[in-house]
Amino acid sequence: MNDVMRRYAGVSALLLLLAAPISHAQAGSEKQEAPAVQDDELDPDEYQRRKIRIVKFFEDQRARYEVVTSTVTKSGQILDWIKPESQTEGGAIASPPREMYPHPYAESVSNPYLDAAKHPIRKEGVALTELQLDGAAMGPPGTVPIVRFDIDSYLNEVRYLPADPLDIVSKLPPPAPSSNNRYYAVWHRFGDVFGTIGRVNIWDTEGPVGNETSIAQTAVIRGTPMQAIEAGKIETSGFSPARRPVFFTYYRTAGSASGDWAGGYNTLVQGWVQVSPTVAPGMSLIPWASATDGEQYSLDVEVRLWEGNWWVRAAGEWVGYYPHCIGGAAPPCERGTLFSEKGIRDIADRLDWYGEVFDSRAPAATSTDMGSGAYANTHFRRAAYFRNLLYVWAPATAWWFDAGSISVTDARCYSADGPFYSADPNWRNWFYYGGPGDEGAGCD
């Protein structure tokens, strides 16, 4: 029995129970595994019914792909390897964007402008994925990975299971810097654009608390209701490894609406087309967590409209795209376009780079950390940062964010400092952000 089969041996047993209603006798030992019931929890029988529905939901979702094989990474993530053409109607896969020269990414950078008297050279490591470092979990040639939703991890983390498994997909808190119950530190840019480029300093924050999220990301936005493409680093109980940093993508076609071809994270809903064989939404970034007064790491992130498709790049590769047509077929779009003319179908008009915390306790403050958990004024090797932020003002032409100010929700809880500028091309612009939440002075 291989690692994948061993880890999911219990899934088939659970699915067999679907053939008949669950009685107390049938629940047997399964019933004993359910958590002790509290006032806000389910009774054991209902817990088991919901658990079985959830397992079947994700098994049915996985069945939509033509899985060739499955592998396990060193961090324990399960990857399902599929033929890329199986993701789109008609089997066509779009060509990635043309590079912009000189390309803004650099593998190793230094910044003499940061505390130069003490540290004349500041180096930064580049965040990659496990597959880029170690090909042991690679699938067959010609296939691409889909990070499997870790049902076991979810069931261990969540006690009150939803009655409808779709709620697992739709009720993960969406990235939303202007919504209620969220703190943020953001650098906005307004005006017609075709995308954005930048680097995200990666930290493994303390927590997050409960079902909250701690995010560092970019967003490309337009329209009412909002349409957007979002990408970066997220920490939440909903993804595995739970509460640890992973790379994510998110899209929305009508505000916070979720579902297939409507909006959602990664591959939990249909809409994303995976192209890279070594970088995929949901992949762990644990090895690349920065350390206080120690090594710093950053992840390159790019979102760009190219020939009608919104592409996402990370860890030096074009990862995949959100297609022009619903279903992913080439135009003309028989089922309509994924994004609307008044949304981001043809252009965006707002860019955000920001740290965000979702506060489930609002209006009371939360202790979930943003960034590194340190306030922005502690600066390099203590506070988290974004750097080398660019906007794409023509399909293959970008320029630096060179104006504007940083907005924060509540500087007593989470702060920002900057933007700063220099002549060093590796640190052309940057800003610091973050904080400890209600553990900070004056945050309540």
Task: Answer yes or no: are the C-beta atoms of 140 and 154 closer than 8 Å.
Answer: no
At residue 82, the pLDDT reads 96
Token pair of 42 as six digits? 């389910």
Contacts of 12 (CB under 8 A, 6+ apart): none
User: Does residue 411 lie within any of the structural domains?
Assistant: yes
| Residue-range definition of the domain harbouring residue 82 | 65-149+182-439
Which pLDDT belongs to residue 357? 93
- Using CA atoms, how far residue 311 sits from 324, 355, 378, 437, in Å, is 10, 22, 35, 34
Q: Could you state, in chain order, the average pLDDT of each consecutive group of 10 residues for the chain (444 residues)?
A: 43 33 28 38 87 91 90 94 94 90 47 41 82 93 95 83 80 60 92 96 90 93 96 90 93 90 92 97 94 95 97 96 96 96 97 92 88 95 95 90 89 94 84 94 86
In this structure, is residue 55 part of a structural domain? Answer: no
Q: Say how far apart CA 412 and CA 180 lie, in whole Å.
A: 17
Cα 335 from Cα 405, distance rounded (Å): 41
pLDDT of residue 33: 38
| 156 part of a folded domain | no
Residue at 353 is within a domain: yes
> In total, how many domains does the chain have?
1
Backbone dihedral angles phi then psi of residue 264, each to the nearest 5 degrees: 155, 180
How many Cβ atoms are within 10 Å of 234's Cβ, its own excluded?
A: 30
Instruction: Report the pLDDT value the prediction gives residue 396, as an integer from 0 to 100.
Output: 86
Q: Token pair of 432, please?
A: 């610091």
Task: Report if residue 145 sits inside a domain.
Answer: yes
pLDDT tens digits along 210-261: 888 999 999 999 999 999 999 999 999 888 888 899 999 999 999 888 889 9
Q: What is the pLDDT of residue 199?
A: 96
In a domain, 113, yes or no: yes
CA distance 99 to 357: 33
Residue 42 lies in a domain: no
Amino acid (1-letter code) at residue 151: I
Q: Do the domain assignments include residue 51?
A: no
Q: Is 119 exposed, middle or buried (0-12, 13-18, 19+ CB in 10 A)?
A: middle
